[in-house]
Structure 1
């Protein structure tokens, strides 16, 4: 019998997708993060395909804390929100053991920031001489207390968006691309500064 895909939407708008057959057995959390001016609906089809391909193994959460105009608040602000959202999901779904992130466009930068906030190094860095009494979790790095598995981004400007033909709506015209860094924040607010590497908050290096 084919595994049916189930989904729920909470009062806050978040979307969870899993297999209806044995949802309790899914121990791998997949966080899907949309791009600028996007929403949780952008990843609904992708989330369903994940569950159909890996029934009873993945629990997919489509992020909703940074939708639409909230994507203009800056990578750091969005990253903090996403980190809190991930912890909320982990607390709600107690049997999770592994975690992966799939993100599009600026969502990749947001996910990267959130991972940095949630990352915890191994408690025991020297694994030599381990005994049977050693907790296996003490020798593994974790993200939100879960074992990190995959970090996948699509069309994410990890090195910023400045450069020839990096931004499609500028048509690759050098003059437009050069001028974009001067006005991009009018359109995309703090996020625009981060994407074009013009942010210099507290004299720090650009976030992107």
Structure 2
């Protein structure tokens, strides 16, 4: 049986997350209490081809998606899905179902609900703090999981990057008494082996972003809806906060809280309190899915973390019968990234600084094109299949995520 639920029966008492630096807010605690009292309230029941019942339970604190029929060996991999601006947990529902259907004995999917609708105007940092608290709650609710992955759409990718920085820890894996004290030369290496990186206490595996403006929306054609017109691109940073609040300031790098640097610039390196790049580097793989065409919200460069000359040429784009809208896949090693950085002679502008910071760790790039699709004008939501009836052509992109997902 497939279930989409917040699983209140597994919700523990009020959690103590002081080890991660969190103190749950009263609204969150009240919400957890509400979940306990509400119980499982089924609002939609459907049948699959295997004659299984699909239950959709809305309890107001996100959705857990899992196969209740898997009982012998419960899944050990928690997948967190994060929505973009003005989004909700429902945005990833199609993809969540596909993950559970194909990897039913491997993954439990949680569609985040802590940053929905106008809460997405609060800014990347505040949203990231809320997401971090939610992830801690979910991880406690599923004590059998040992691994964690993230898939985030649009602005949600920046929020997820902030959250993993807050959740990052180096966990000791053995006692110091196990050090080989007879060989002083090995002591430093042994000390390093005493710790392993964890996100919310779990082993980080996949960090996947989908049409995320990693470099912000400031710059030429980074917000394609402005059509590259210089006048509009100059005015956008001055007016974005009127429409999308603090999130607009962060996207256009106009924030300077307490006289500091823009948040997106801070997030491309480790800070004293938040280890942004260490957290990213702790995942076994990082993947950036990007729309090469027709995305009116997020440009190709910013979503694929590339310079203009690094974007694939049209003659390099290919068509795969299994994934018809995947047109280019780029897998690079850390050495390739370091060589690329050292060989680029570019002034250290804001965009270049973010690229150099983010590519301290290797990324896979997957370029997507809906150029021949009737749904191309809504490419920004089609790439995640936000609504199957409007975005069904993105199903092969979701399938590509599943087929390449590390377990």
Q: 1:162 to 1:151 in 2, by over 3 A?
A: same
Secondary structure at 1:121's aligned position in 2? Answer: strand
Q: 1:124 to 1:56 in 2, by over 3 A?
A: closer
Does residue 164 (structure 1) correspond to residue 220 (structure 2)? The answer is yes
State the Cα distance separating 1:169 from its structure 2 match: 2.4
Q: Deviations over 1:59-102 (max 9, x none)?
A: 00000000000000000000000000000101111101000000
Aligned-residue Cα RMSD (Å) equals 2.3
Q: Equivalent residue for 1:6?
A: 3
Does residue 90 (structure 1) correspond to residue 146 (structure 2)? The answer is no
Larger mean Cα displacement after TM superposition, 119-128 or 47-56:
119-128
Secondary structure at 2:172's aligned position in 1? Answer: coil
TM-score (norm 2): 0.47
Q: Deviations over 1:118-155 (max 9, x none)?
A: 0002436999749xxx9xx9531100000000100011
Q: Equivalent residue for 1:51?
A: 100
Q: Is the 8 A contact 1:21 1:56 kept in 2?
A: no
What is the CA–CA distance in structure 1 between the aligned matches of 2:146 and 2:58, rounded to whole Å? 23
Higher RCO (CA < 8 A, seq sep 6+)? 1
What is the CA–CA distance in structure 2 between the aligned matches of 1:43 and 1:187, rounded to whole Å? 24
Does residue 21 (structure 1) correspond to residue 69 (structure 2)? The answer is yes
What stretches of structure 1 of length at least 5 have no aligned partner? none
Larger mean Cα displacement after TM superposition, 68-77 or 167-176:
167-176
Matches within 5 A, 1:101-140: 101-123=150-172, 129=180, 139-140=195-196
Q: 1:97 to 1:32 in 2, by over 3 A?
A: same
Larger mean Cα displacement after TM superposition, 48-57 or 101-110:
48-57
Secondary structure at 1:25's aligned position in 2? Answer: coil
What stretches of structure 2 of length at least 5 have no aligned partner? 6-56, 182-189, 265-407
Q: Deviations over 1:164-190 (max 9, x none)?
A: 111132122121011100000000100
Count of matched residue positions in the alignment of Structure 1 and Structure 2 = 200
Secondary structure at 2:127's aligned position in 1? Answer: helix
Q: Equivalent residue for 2:89?
A: 40
Q: Is the 8 A contact 1:109 1:158 kept in 2?
A: yes
Q: 1:40 to 1:22 in 2, by over 3 A?
A: same
Q: Equivalent residue for 1:64?
A: 113
